[in-house]
Structure 1
Amino acid sequence: MPRVALFGAAGAIGHSVAAALRSKGQPYRVVGRNEQRLRKAFGGDPLAEIVAWNPDSPASVQAAASGIETLIYMVGVDYWQFQLHPELMRKTLDAAMAVGVKNFILIGTVYPYGRVQTGNPVREDHPREPHTFKGRMRKAQEDLLMQADASGQIHATVLRLPDFYGPGVEASLLHRAAQAAVNGGTADLIGPIDRPHEFIYVPDVGPVVARLIDTPAAFGKIWHLAGAGVTTQHDLVLEMERQTGRELKLRVAGKTMLRLLGLFNPLMREVVEMNYLMTDPLILDDSALQRLIGPIRKTPYVEGIRHTLAAVRKTQSAANAAA
C-alpha cells in the first residue's frame, strides 16, 4: 500500500510530485473528484493507486486518507470560490487525523503575506497580513493546519510557491503568450509586464516535495521555494520570440481593463484584487529551504521556455491530427 497520497493530484503540481515519486520507484495514491480524469493521467503507472473522493462526505475523505503516512495537499477551487479553501482544509485535516495520517504537506502561495513590508526577497518570517479576500482564505487554510501541528495532532508544513509555468500549465500567466508564440495570434498578458517577477518551473517542484517527505525537520514550519531568479514577463516574452523567430502581438490588461473584463468574465473579476502582485513585486527567499535539504535544481528560464513551447507544439500537432 502507498504511504504517500496526493490530494488534488490531477493538477500541474500533482503531476510533478507523482513524477518525482515515480522516479524513485515509490508507490503513491492519487486522489481527486474525477476518477476518469485520474485514470487518464495515471492509469498507465503501476505505482499509482487511483482513488476518487467526495470532500462533502467524511467517510469518503477518510477512505481516501486511510493507511497513508504522508498527505500532500494540492486541492484547488475555482478562483471565484476561495471561501471553500478553509472549509476543504478542515474536512481533509479532520479525516486525516481520524485515520492516523502522520504528516501533512500543504502546497501554498504568497497570498497570505499581502503586500511586501520588509523589502525583497521575502523570508518565511514576513508578517502574514493579507489585505485581500483570497489572501485571508489562504491564511485561514494555513492556520488550521499549523494549529493542528502546534497541538501535536499531526506533523504539518507549508511549501510556499511563486507563480508557476511549464509544459501543459494552462493556469500560468505565460500560457497565452506561449500559445501565441507557437500558433500566432495575440498574446494576452496581465500587466504591468515590466516589473520584477519570478516563476517556478513546475517540474522542479516535485523533487523538492519528495525530499520534504523524508525530512522530519521540515515539519512544524513554513518554507519558501523560489523561482529560477528575478525576471519580468516582458523578458520571457522576448525569449519566446527569440526561440520561435516570431514577433508577438501583445495585449496587456492592467487593473482598469481587468475590471471591465470582469463585467463579463468571473475569472477576470476575481483577478482584480490580486493585481497588486504585478505592480508591487513579491520575491521569495528560499535560502532556509536550501539549508534544510541542500541545493535545489532550478531550470533556467531559457530551458523552461523551450520545453513549454515544445509542449504547445505537441498539443497543437495532436489537435491537428485528431481533426
Structure 2
Amino acid sequence: MSAGSELHVVLGAGGAVGRTVVEELVARGRRVRAVNRSGRLPVPDGVEVMGSDVTSADGATAACAGAGVVYHCAAPAYDRWVNEFAAMTEAVRKGAAAAAAKLVFADNLYMYGPVTTPMTEGMPDAARNPRGRVRAEMARSLLAAHRAGDVRVALGRASDYYGPGGTNSIAGTNVFAAALRGKVARWVGDLDQPHSLSYLPDFAKGLVTLGEDARADGLAWHIPASAPLTGRQFLEIVFAQAGLPEKYAAVGRTMQRSLGLVNPTVRALGETWYQRDRPFVTDATKFTDTFGPLPTTPHPQAVDATLAWFRTTLNR
C-alpha cells in the first residue's frame, strides 16, 4: 500500500492535538479518518469522520479498522487521568493491534518527575505523583507490547502546548483569550523560569514523522520545539503581537492552592508544581540526529497565528 493511500486514523480528533494531526496529514496528502465520540467534527474535505467510544476495546477496534497508522491523541479530562487514562490506552492498543497498525501515542513529560537538567528520553521514570505514574505506566506498557511483537509503537513527547485550538493548556485561554479581552493574562508558575513550549502544528509534524518512519519504532521521542522562554518573555510576545498594553501576572503556589479548593483541575496542578518553579526544558537531540532538523515555528509567528484563531473564536 502506498503512503498516499494508506489509512491514517486519528483518535481524539476533536481535541487540539488530534485536530492538528488531521490537518498535518491532509497537508501531506494522506488518507485520513478522524475519530471522536460523537462523530461530529469540522474537518477538511476528503476526511472520513467516525464516531466511536475508544475507551472500550470494541470501540477502539472499530475505529482502527483498516488503519496503517493510528495516532492516539485521545485523553480523559485532566481530573480523570488517574482513573481512566490507562484503561483507555489499553483499549487503543488492542484496537491498533487488531488492525495490525502502527500506534503513535501523543505523550507528555510527566513521567520524569522533578529534574535539574534538560530532559532527555534516557531519564528514569522518577515521578511519584499519581498523574506522572499513570503516564509512566502507559509508556512502559506500550513499549512492552512493541517488544513482545503485539503492535508497533512510537511515543512522541511534548511540553505544554499552545496554538490554534489550544484552549486547555497553561498557555491557552488564560493567556490568549484573557489578553484579547483586555483582562489580566495569567501564567501558572514562576514568571522567570525557562520553560519549553510546543506549538501545536510543530508537534503534529513530529508525530506524523514518527508515524511514517520505521526508525521511530519501539522508542520514545522528544518532538523539537522552538527555544525555551520564560513565562514573562512569552507573555511579552503575546502582548506585542496583539498590539495591546501588557497586563499579566503569575499564578503562584498560594493562589493555586486557593483556586484549587473549588477547581479540581487547578488543584491537580499542585502535584506537578516542580514543572512551574524551576527550569522545565526538553532536549530533542535524539529526534534531530535521527530524522534531521524539524523546522520549528518561531514563537512570534506561532503566537500571531494563535491570536488570530482566538480572535475568530471570541467573535463568533
TM-score range, shorter chain: over 0.9
Provide the C-alpha distance between the structure 2 equivalents of 1:57 and 1:186, rounded to a whole number of angstroms.
Answer: 42
Match of 1:30 in 2: 34
Secondary structure in structure 1 of the residue aligned to 2:114: coil
Provide the C-alpha distance between the structure 2 equivalents of 1:56 and 1:250, rounded to a whole number of angstroms.
Answer: 39
Evaluate the alpha carbon distance shift between residue 243 and residue 3 of structure 1 in structure 2; reply closer, same or farther with a 3 A threshold: closer
Shift of 1:7: 0.9
For 1:1-323, what aligned pairs fall within 5 Å after superposition?
3-36=7-40, 38=41, 41-42=42-43, 44-46=44-46, 48-83=47-82, 84-97=84-97, 99-116=98-115, 119-175=116-172, 176-317=174-315, 319=316
Contact 1:7 1:31 in 2 (8 A): yes
Q: Quick one: which amino acid aligns to residue 304 of structure 1?
A: A
Aligned length: 310
Evaluate the alpha carbon distance shift between residue 100 and residue 181 of structure 1 in structure 2; reply closer, same or farther with a 3 A threshold: closer
Secondary structure in structure 2 of the residue aligned to 1:158: strand
Evaluate the alpha carbon distance shift between residue 263 and residue 197 of structure 1 in structure 2; reply closer, same or farther with a 3 A threshold: same
Shift of 1:2: 5.1
Q: Quick one: which amino acid aligns to residue 91 of structure 1?
A: A
Q: Quick one: which amino acid aligns to residue 230 of structure 1?
A: P
Shift of 1:294: 1.1
Contact 2:70 2:103 in 1 (8 A): yes
TM-score under structure 2 normalisation? 0.93
Deviating more after overlay: 179-188 vs 243-252: 243-252
| Sequence identity (%) | 27
Q: Quick one: which amino acid aligns to residue 9 of structure 1?
A: A
Evaluate the alpha carbon distance shift between residue 139 and residue 78 of structure 1 in structure 2; reply closer, same or farther with a 3 A threshold: same
Q: After superposition, give the CA deviation of every residue in 1:137-176 in whole Å (9 maximum; x if it has no partner).
A: 1111111111100111111111110111112311122222
Contact 2:120 2:283 in 1 (8 A): yes
Q: Quick one: which amino acid aligns to residue 155 of structure 1?
A: R
Contact 1:148 1:154 in 2 (8 A): yes
Provide the C-alpha distance between the structure 1 equivalents of 2:52 and 2:282, rounded to a whole number of angstroms.
Answer: 34
Contact 1:4 1:29 in 2 (8 A): yes
Contact 2:146 2:152 in 1 (8 A): yes
Contact 1:194 1:234 in 2 (8 A): yes
Provide the C-alpha distance between the structure 1 equivalents of 2:33 and 2:164, rounded to a whole number of angstroms.
Answer: 23
Over 4 Å off, 4+ runs: none
Provide the C-alpha distance between the structure 2 equivalents of 1:128 and 1:197, rounded to a whole number of angstroms.
Answer: 20
Evaluate the alpha carbon distance shift between residue 244 and residue 102 of structure 1 in structure 2; reply closer, same or farther with a 3 A threshold: closer
Q: After superposition, give the CA deviation of every residue in 1:224-251 in whole Å (9 maximum; x if it has no partner).
A: 1132002111111112222333223334
Contact 2:164 2:310 in 1 (8 A): yes
TM-score under structure 1 normalisation? 0.91
Q: Quick one: which amino acid aligns to residue 12 of structure 1?
A: A
Evaluate the alpha carbon distance shift between residue 272 and residue 213 of structure 1 in structure 2; reply closer, same or farther with a 3 A threshold: same
Provide the C-alpha distance between the structure 2 equivalents of 1:74 and 1:199, rounded to a whole number of angstroms.
Answer: 18
Superposition CA RMSD, Å = 1.6
Contact 2:156 2:222 in 1 (8 A): yes
Q: Which runs of 5+ in 2 are unaligned?
A: none
